[in-house]
Homo-oligomer: A and B are copies of this chain.
Amino acid sequence: MLYEFGLKTERQNFYNITGKVMEALTKSGIKEGIVLVFCPHTTAGITINENADPDVVKDMLLGLDRAYPDRAEFRHMEGNSQAHLKASAVGSSQYIIVENGRLVESRKNN
């Protein structure tokens, strides 16, 4: 089963899509299995991370920006090579295990 949704984004940010994934899971009726969350855009990625403290996301934006800064040597006309690099670093997809109709998460979120 394939569920699609679009998301309008800023130039750079993290967006919590857990609700969308859970919604699709509920619709599917699947109780045991695996969810693949895939983003077909090559300047965006999917990652699993903490959302309890919003500072984690701010720190991650900063850390990724420093690991893959915009470089004077970059030649791609669209000027978004940095975004392509970050997308490859973070990855296009994530898999989450489903047990009893729920996403398997860490018991203790750290």
Interface residues of A (CB under 8 A from B): 2, 32, 34, 36, 38, 40-43, 47-50, 53, 55-56, 58-60, 62-64, 66-68, 71, 73-78, 80-82, 84-85, 87-97, 99, 104-107, 109-110
Contacts and interface: CB of A to CB of B under 8 A. Distances in A.
Contact of A110 (B43, B71, B73, B107): B43
A18 to B, nearest CB: 12
A63 B81 contact: yes
Stoichiometry, as copies per complex, reads 3
A97 B49 contact: no
B92 A75 contact: no
Contacts of A74: 55, 59, 62-63
